[in-house]
Amino acid sequence: MSFTTFLQQCLTGISLGGAYALIAIGYTLVYGILRLINFAHGDIFMMAGYFMIFAMASLPWYIAIVVVLIVTVLLGISIEHVAYRPLRNAPRMSVMISAIGVSYLLQNLATYLFTALPKGYPEIPFLKKIFQIGGLSASFVTFLTPVITLIVVYALITLIHKTKIGMAMRAVSKDYDTAALMGIKINRVITFTFAVGSLLAAIGSILYFTDRMTVFPFSGSLPGLKCFVAAVFGGIGSIPGAVIGGFILGLGETALVAMGYSTFSDAFTFVLLIVILLIKPTGLFGEKTTDKV
Amino acid sequence: MKNTKNNRTIKYKLYSLGALLVTLLILGFLQVNSSQYSYQISILERSAIYAVVAVSMNLLTGFTGLFSLGQAGFMAIGAYIVAILTIPVEQRASVYYVNGISPAIANLQCPFWLALIIAGLVAAGIAALMGIPVLRLKSDYLAIATLGFSEIIRAVIAAPQLDRITNGSYGLKSIPGFPNLFVAFGLCALCILLMVLLINSSYGRVFKAIREDEIAAQAMGLNLFRYKQMAFIISSFFTGIGGGLLAMFMRSIDSKTFSINLTYDILLIVVLGGIGSITGSVLGAFLVTAGREWLRFFDNPLYIGGIQIPLFRSGFRMVVFSILLMVVVLFYSRGIMGNNEFSWAGLGRLVKGIPDRFTKKKQKGDNTL
Amino acid sequence: MTEHTNNKPNILHLENVTMQFGGVVAVNGLSLDVNEGEIVALIGPNGAGKTTAFNCVTGIYEPTYGQVQFQEETIFSNMPKGKMRKMYAGSVHPRTVPIVKNTPDAITQKGIARTFQNIRLFGQLSVFDNVLIAKHMRAKQNVFSATLRLNHKEEERMRSETMALLEEQNLAHLKDEIASSLPYGLQRRLEIARALATEPKLLLLDEPAAGMNPQETQDLTDFIKQIRESYHLTVFMIEHHMDLVMQISDRIYVLDFGKLIAHGTPEEIQNNEKVIEAYLGVSDDAED
């Protein structure tokens, strides 16, 4: 492998990792607050892909993007409202099953509305422009993804540490009941969290699908699980952790594909998961929690 | 007092015997007219196999409190082992026509019952290895790790390096089916019966204790890891057999059959039936499998008065189905049976209770009016 | 510390047991002895480290440092390691004793049973099953014999023993009730019955009278005395109700901020100035 191909692969990996990181943040935020694996998150990401197809059919790209972001956020919020909120005091297993149910519903709904056949993802002209730097050539989106990821992460960390709603989010994630006693409107915080998570999923979806060019009803389920693993790897609840997890996953997968083990690139994710759970169950940056006896 | 109690147990035993006889008669009737009722038979067989897997999942989720999502992976192991061991030797060349067959397995053949036992044992063995790292994890981490393992198993099966054993993406065909209906349903019933006996034994109580409170269970001298491992291995054993049965039912399998969605299907059966109820899982398996077929009319265009109702087209069935399931999850989270089991006494109470319920509703209505 | 002259053999011996969580020392160099047939109380203000000490004996925590012996057998022995070696607050005596660890279930099997401060019953199971589960550990059976019902004699024995125990504890009429539906006092009783079903030699009670009114507390006092006699038990308990403690304890250990501050008979403790200062002064608050 020449040095240029190596760099080329790294670039692909970082770009994929950036998209993964954006989705992983959604998992980490929701898990941090509700202790729930939002199994439907990957499917929200998939639906965002379809929204883009329809938005681009009749609107210019810059308006289409805004529309997609808004609609996806609304979808995320309404899922929380309908499927998770009624189960606030139910056992954790019920909520998880509800999340699986939503994921199942979204996949079936997408199959029904858009058929199971892959649909072509619209091209946003400037994102597909080929750039050349030295021997490297890649479309603009490949360079853009990691940059956007870092900007978003910076904005999010600022939000969480500098704003009032961010403080509320931190409080709720530390202790649900006490936060409620302190007058924090839990439901509002949770809605906000889902909105942020879905927004990032929508951004991730645009970056991810522009590179892949097709969307089908199950195109969210595997990336979704992978990004959850990325979040666990980085330490669930930790945003930098999710980002690092996403990049490691993207790079590792690209490396496996480059080496010719593409069938194992999906399995790699889960090997990574099991290894981290064995060595450091709380992930890279996770906090330890203990049960009181 | 005691006498009436005895009488009652005798009565219930007679009922059970009667129910068994009726079932056998129905099976005999279907067997004789199998060509005429092949569609109904296939639904019933699939339901029975799903029931085995659902009960084995319930053994973990409902009785031991371990939320595992690895069913599809263990089913894949079982199915591939049964397929590899039972496809007639003379047909193997045509099954493996693309990549050829590995000489190690080319002449390996055994009767289906032995293949099923081996399938279960291999699944159990893999579960034993997998349990060592995975069972230390708590609730949702366990779920995602088992789900991950299930995907790894699927990736390994589909890997080109194993093409000469698993036939890669072409899958395996020409798997001999069940010799007759009695074998199919008998095997499913036997598996479920064994699990029922286990759950009602001293070990079943230990599993429930772990579900209720792990720390208290430890304080009762129960080694958590040992019993979790035991539940996991036994559940995987029966899931493996369930996969083997599914292979015999489908006659041809490939790695896509055993995707995460298969696990979700089983999970939804368990939830619908009631987490912690064996009867519920069995009922759920039949209802869900048959329900999908009943809902098939949603997939066909519907005309009312010559006007086509626009919603009815391919895929609508699954949407309706998943909405129904969400309704169950959200509003009837205890499922059909909750954590109760079927008993004749319970059925009697239910039947007697029906008129009461109507009158009660009326009274309630009166009160609010 | 006064050397306790008692000719009864020792059953539980703690030596320099220290439990440190990060920088917090919950139990600091605790040494104590419990002798066979005694009722010994461990008292101290809230947060003194009493439950932590129990958890170190029953294997829920492994002590950072120190040794625990049960019937002359070392069940825990540990030295600070890893990060803790630097953070460890106490002094470490180099010892040649090998490191010994046990899981909670192994401890129960050796003959130490316990109850919990916040009752831990198998909530959804019946009263009968709650006790029956405790019998599993000592039953001679395996998963195959149990599934195929080849163990019916053993099962029969477990059931009749459970029934006998419930009758002795006056819980027999409740045997089919769901454990979580019992009133609080009965739940405590059931938890003790369940602990007795593991056939312990030493019973650890973590605040058995918590939340009980004076009458219930008095009943419990008699009950503890009675089970000690009929089951040949040694009882080691944590308790805040001073009437109960002073009435039935043979000896009392007082813990404050993780450290042992006094030890002696109820009379000695009642007159100990350190104790009055640290504990009895706030006993009124602690009782409600």
Q: Looking at beta carbons, which residues of chain C come within 8 Å of B202? A: 132, 136, 139, 141, 146, 151, 155, 158
**Residue B181: which of B285, B30, B79, B37 has the closest Cα?**
B30
Residue A279 forms part of a structural domain: no
- Residues of B with a Cβ under 8 Å from any A Cβ are 61, 67, 133-134, 136-137, 139-141, 143-145, 147-149, 151-152, 155-156, 158-160, 215, 260-261, 264, 267-268, 271, 275, 313-316, 318-319, 321-323, 325-326, 329-330, 333
Kindly state whether residue A239 falls inside one of the protein's structural domains. Answer: no
Higher pLDDT, B19 or C278: B19
A6 domain residue, yes or no: no
Check whether C94 has a pLDDT greater than 80.
Answer: no
Give the residue on B whose Cα is nearest the Cα of A102.
B326
Q: Are A204 and A249 in contact (CB under 8 A)?
A: no
- Take residue A218 and report the two structure tokens written for it: 């199950």
Cα separation, B209 vs B297, whole angstroms: 45
Contacting residues of A for B316, CB less than 8 Å apart = 112
Report the mean per-residue pLDDT for chain C.
Answer: 87
Distances in Å between the Cα of B291 and the Cα atoms of B37, B274, B286, B296, C171 are 18, 17, 8, 8, 47
Sign of the alpha-carbon torsion through A82, A88, A89, A92: positive
Closest CA–CA distance from residue B318 to any residue of chain A (Å): 6
CA–CA dist B300, B314 (Å, integer): 7
DSSP sequence for chain A: --HHHHHHHHHHHHHHHHHHHHHHHHHHHHHHHH----TTHHHHHHHHHHHHHHHHHHS-HHHHHHHHHHHHHHHHHHHIIIIIGGGTTS-HHHHHHHHHHHHHHHHHHHHHHH-SS-EEPPP-HHHH-EEEETTEEEEHHHHHHHHHHHHHHHHHHHHHHHSHHHHHHHHHHH-HHHHHHTT--HHHHHHHHHHHHHHHHHHHHHHHHHHH-EE-TTTTHHHHHHHHHHHHHH-TT-HHHHHHHHHHHHHHHHHHHHTT-GGGHHHHHHHHHHHHHHH-TT-SSPPP-----
Q: Taking Cα atoms as reference points, which of A248, A247, A252 lies closest to residue A264?
A: A252
pLDDT value at B301 more than 80: no
Q: Which residues of A touch B67 (CB under 8 A)?
A: 93, 96
pLDDT of residue B364: 45
- Compute CA C113 distance to the chain's CA centroid, rounded to the nearest angstrom: 6
CA-angle at A216, arms to A215 and A217, nearest 5°: 130
Cβ–Cβ gap A101/B315 under 8 Å: no
Q: Give chain B positions within 8 Å (CB) of A109.
A: 319, 322
Q: Which residues of A touch B314 (CB under 8 A)?
A: 112, 115
Q: Count how many residues are written for chain A.
A: 293
A93: contact with C, CB 8 A cutoff: no
Chain centroid to CA B152? 21
Note whether C246 contacts A: Cβ–Cβ < 8 A: no
At C227-260, the pLDDT tens digits run: 999 889 999 999 988 888 999 999 999 998 889 9
- Longest CA–CA separation in chain A, Å: 62
- Find residues 78-137 of chain C whose CB sits inside 8 Å of chain A: 116
From the list A92, A112, A291, the residue facing B139 with the nearest CB is A92
pLDDT score for B106? 83
Question: ipTM of the assembly?
Answer: 0.88
Output the pLDDT for position A275. Answer: 86
What's chain C's Rg over C-alpha atoms? Answer: 20
CB contact under 8 A, C134 and B220: yes
C120 and B218 in contact by Cβ < 8 A? no
User: Hey, is C41 helix, strand or coil?
Assistant: strand
Nearest to B230 among C113, C122, C143 (CB): C143
C53: nearest CA in chain A?
A293
Residue A46 has pLDDT above 50, yes or no: yes
Task: Return the pLDDT at C280.
Answer: 55
Q: What pLDDT band is residue B42 in, cutting at 50, 70 and 90? A: very high
Q: Which range among A178-192, B259-273, C146-160, C269-283 shows the weakest confidence by mean pLDDT?
A: C269-283
Q: Look at A101-105, B34-38, B188-192 and tell me which has the smallest mean pLDDT.
A: B34-38
pLDDT at B138 > cutoff 80? no
Q: Whole-angstrom Cα distance, residue B21 to residue B40?
A: 20
C3 has a pLDDT exceeding 70:
no
Q: How close is the nearest chain B Cα to the Cα of C91, in Å?
A: 32
Give the Cα separation of B250 and B240 in Å (integer).
15
B215 and C104 within 8 Å at the Cβ level: the answer is yes
- Residues of chain B with pLDDT > 90, as a percent, come to 49
CA distance B199 to B193: 10
Residues of B in contact with A221 (CB under 8 A): 260
Give me the helix-helix angle, B260-273 and B38-58, nearest 10°. 80
Q: How confident is the model at residue C2 (pLDDT cuts 50, 70, 90)?
A: very low
- Residue C237, sorted as left (phi over 0), alpha (psi -120 to 50) or beta, turns out to be beta
Is there a contact between B212 and C129 if contact means CB atoms under 8 Å apart? Answer: no
Give the pLDDT of residue C39.
94
In a domain, A208, yes or no: yes
CA distance C123 to chain B (A): 6
Closest C-alpha among A195, A97, C64 to residue B61: A97
Least Cα separation, residue C236 to chain B (angstroms): 16
A100 contacts B148? CB cut-off 8 A: no
Smallest Cβ–Cβ distance between B67 and the set A87, A93, A113 belongs to: A93
Question: What tokens appear for A164 in the block?
Answer: 């009032």
DSSP string, C235-248: EEEE---HHHHHHH
Q: Which residues of C touch A293 (CB under 8 A)?
A: 51, 55, 60, 116
**β pairing state of C39-43 and C251-256:** parallel
Ordered structural domains, chain C, with CATH: 1-111+201-288 (3.40.50.300), 123-199 (no CATH)
pLDDT of residue B168: 84
Tell which residue, B29, B359, B324, B51, has the closest CA to residue B187.
Answer: B51
CA pair distance A292, B15, nearest whole angstrom: 50
Strand ranges (E), chain B: 302-304, 307-309
Share of chain A above pLDDT 70, in %: 97
CA distance C146 to chain B (A): 6
CA distances A269 to A74, A127, A232, A250, A275, Å, are 30, 28, 11, 9, 10
C chain contacts of residue B339, beta-carbon cutoff 8 Å: 124
Which among C133, C138, C206 is the top mutation candidate for probing chain B, defined by the most B β-carbons within 10 Å of its own β-carbon? C133
The answer to whether the CB atoms of A277 and B137 lie below 8 A apart is yes
The more confident residue out of C96 and C196 is C196
Round to whole Å and give the CA distance between B290 and B269. Answer: 12
Residue among B152, B315, B330 minimizing CB distance to A108? B315
Q: How far is C143 from chain A (nearest CA, A)?
A: 28
In the B/C pair of chains, how many CB contacts fall below 8 A? Answer: 98
Our CA angle for A218, A222, A228, nearest 5°, is 135
A127 pLDDT above the threshold of 80: no
Q: Is A59 inside any structural domain? A: yes
Identify the closest residue of chain B to A274 by CA–CA distance.
B145
Cα–Cα distance between C271 and B355 in angstroms, integer? Answer: 72
Tell me the pLDDT band of C1, cut-offs 50, 70 and 90.
very low
Q: What is the pTM of this model?
A: 0.89
Which residues of chain A neighbour C51 with C-beta distances below 8 Å?
293
In a domain, A157, yes or no: yes
H or E element at residue C74: strand C73-78
Who contacts A239 (Cβ-Cβ below 8 Å, separation ≥6)? A25, A28, A29, A153, A156, A157, A160
To the nearest whole angstrom, how far is the Cα of C62 from the nearest Cα of chain A?
Answer: 14
Mean predicted confidence (pLDDT) in B267-290: 92
Query: Which residues in chain B have Cβ-Cβ distances shorter than 8 Å to A283?
Result: none
What chain A residue is nearest to C117 in terms of C-alpha separation?
A: A293
Measured from the Cβ of residue B359, the count of other Cβ atoms closer than 10 Å reads 9
The residue range of the domain holding A213 is 20-219
The pLDDT, as a whole number, for residue B369 is: 36
Q: Give the gap in angstroms from C-alpha B54 to the nearest C-alpha of chain C.
A: 19
Residue C6 has pLDDT above 90, yes or no: no
Reading the block at residue B358, the tokens are 């109507």
| Number of domains, chain A | 1
Nearest to B215 among A100, A273, A293 (CB): A293
B135: closest CA among B215, B203, B66, B238?
B66
Whether the predicted pLDDT of C210 surpasses 50? yes
> Which chains lie within 8 Å of chain A at 3 or more CB pairs, if any?
B, C
CA distance A36 to chain B (A): 8
Does the beta carbon of A117 lie under 8 angstroms from any beta carbon of chain C?
no
pLDDT above 50 for B365: no
